[in-house]
C-alpha cells in the first residue's frame, strides 16, 4: 500500500480562510465549458467546499461528491456552507484518492484542484481518478508550481518562506512544483497523450484589497498552521525564522506596489 503524504498546510482557520476564497470560476475555468447540467462530478480534496458548491450549481440536474482523506472538520464546514446556500445535490465523504472506494466508470468528471502536489504518488492518484471516470468522461487537475511564483517587492523573508515551504512539502512526501509535472504524471499514469490537453493559468494579487487579504492569510499561516510546527520539528526553520517570514508578509502587504503571481499547470484528460 502506498504511504500517504502528510498534508503540509493542515486546516487551521487561516488555511480554511484562504481556501474559502476559491470559486469554480477562478480555480477551474479550463473545465467549465465541458460541463453539462446532468453530470455527476467527483471533487477530490474539496476542502471547505466552495469550488464544490459552485460545481453543483453548474450541474443542477446532476450531483457532486466532495471528498477529503481525513478532515471531517473541514467537511462539516463544507456541508454547512452548502446548506446555507440551499444546495442539495452535494454529498461529502471521507475517501482517499490513492484508493478510491467508487466502482469503475462512476463519474462524468473527476476533478482535483491543488491536490496532486500533496499526495505521495500523484501518478497513482491520476490512475484512480481515470479509473472512476466514465468512458467519454473527464479527468481534470490543476496544481500550483511554487518555484515559479513571482512577487514584488522581492522581500527576502518571502524567499525564505518559499524555500522553507518547498523543503517542508517534500519532507511530507509531496511535490510543490507539481504544476509543471502534470502532463508527465498523466502520461506515466498511462493516459494517451492524444486524450490530454495541457494548459496553464495564473492567479495574480495586485489590488489593495487582494494584497491585504493574501498577505494577512500567509502572515498567520506561517505562524499558526501545520506548516509552522512541521518546519520547526524537522529543523527547516526556527521560531525566529517563522517570525521573520510573518513580518515579511506583513511588510510586503503594506507596499503600494505589491504584486504576487501564482502559476498553475492544468490537464484536461478525456477518457477514451
pLDDT over 80 at 96, yes or no: yes
The values of phi and psi at residue 67, to 5°, are -125, 150
Distance between CA atoms of residues 130 and 222, nearest Å: 35
What tens digit of pLDDT does each residue of 17-67 get?
A: 555 668 899 999 999 999 999 999 999 999 889 999 999 999 999 999 999
Give the pLDDT score at 73.
Answer: 83
Q: CA 31, 73, 5, 91 torsion: positive or negative?
A: negative
pLDDT, tens digit (0-9, with 9 covering 90-100), for 185-229: 999 999 999 999 999 999 999 999 999 999 999 999 999 888 999
Q: How confident is the prediction for the chain on average, in pLDDT?
A: 92
Where residue 10 falls among pLDDT bands split at 50, 70, 90?
A: low
pTM of the predicted model as reported, rounded to 2 decimal places: 0.92
For residues 161 and 244, give the distance between their C-alpha atoms in angstroms, rounded to a whole number: 9
Between CA 130 and CA 70 the distance in angstroms is 22
For residues 3 and 78, what is the distance between their CA atoms, to the nearest angstrom?
27
Q: What structural domains does the chain harbor?
A: 13-270 (3.40.50.150)
Q: What is the pLDDT of residue 225?
A: 87
Task: For the beta carbon of residue 204, count every other beta carbon within 10 angstroms.
Answer: 11
Using the structure block, give the residue that is written with the C-alpha cell 510586503. 252
CA-based nearest residue to 4, from 70, 62, 81: 70
What is the C-alpha separation between 214 and 218, in angstroms, rounded? 6
Amino acid at each position: 500500500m502506498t504511504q500517504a503524504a502528510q498534508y503540509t498546510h493542515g486546516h487551521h482557520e487561516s488555511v480554511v480562510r484562504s481556501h474559502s476564497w476559491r470559486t469554480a470560476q477562478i480555480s477551474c475555468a479550463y473545465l467549465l465549458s465541458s460541463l453539462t447540467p446532468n453530470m455527476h462530478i467527483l471533487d477530490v480534496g474539496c476542502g471547505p467546499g466552495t469550488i464544490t458548491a459552485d460545481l453543483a450549481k453548474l450541474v443542477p440536474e446532476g450531483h457532486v461528491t466532495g471528498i477529503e482523506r481525513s478532515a471531517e472538520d473541514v467537511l462539516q464546514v463544507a456541508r454547512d456552507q452548502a446548506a446555507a446556500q440551499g444546495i442539495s445535490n452535494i454529498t461529502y465523504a471521507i475517501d482517499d484518492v490513492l484508493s478510491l472506494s467508487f466502482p469503475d466508470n462512476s463519474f462524468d468528471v473527476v476533478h482535483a484542484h491543488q491536490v496532486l502536489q500533496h499526495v505521495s504518488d500523484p501518478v497513482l492518484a491520476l490512475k484512480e481518478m481515470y479509473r472512476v471516470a466514465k468512458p467519454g468522461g473527464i479527468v481534470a487537475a490543476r496544481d500550483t508550481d511554487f518555484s515559479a511564483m513571482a512577487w514584488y517587492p522581492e522581500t527576502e523573508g518571502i524567499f525564505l518562506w518559499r524555500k522553507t515551504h518547498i523543503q517542508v512539502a517534500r519532507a511530507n512526501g509531496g511535490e510543490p512544483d507539481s504544476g509543471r509535472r502534470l502532463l508527465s504524471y498523466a502520461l506515466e499514469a498511462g493516459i494517451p497523450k492524444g486524450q490530454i490537453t495541457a494548459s496553464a493559468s495564473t492567479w495574480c494579487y495586485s489590488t489593495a484589497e487582494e494584497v491585504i487579504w493574501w498577505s494577512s492569510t500567509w502572515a498567520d499561516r506561517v505562524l499558526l498552521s501545520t506548516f509552522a510546527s512541521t518546519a520547526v520539528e524537522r529543523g527547516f526553520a526556527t521560531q525566529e525564522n517563522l517570525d521573520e517570514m510573518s513580518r515579511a508578509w506583513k511588510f510586503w502587504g503594506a507596499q503600494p506596489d505589491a504584486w504576487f503571481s501564482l502559476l498553475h499547470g492544468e490537464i484536461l484528460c478525456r477518457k477514451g
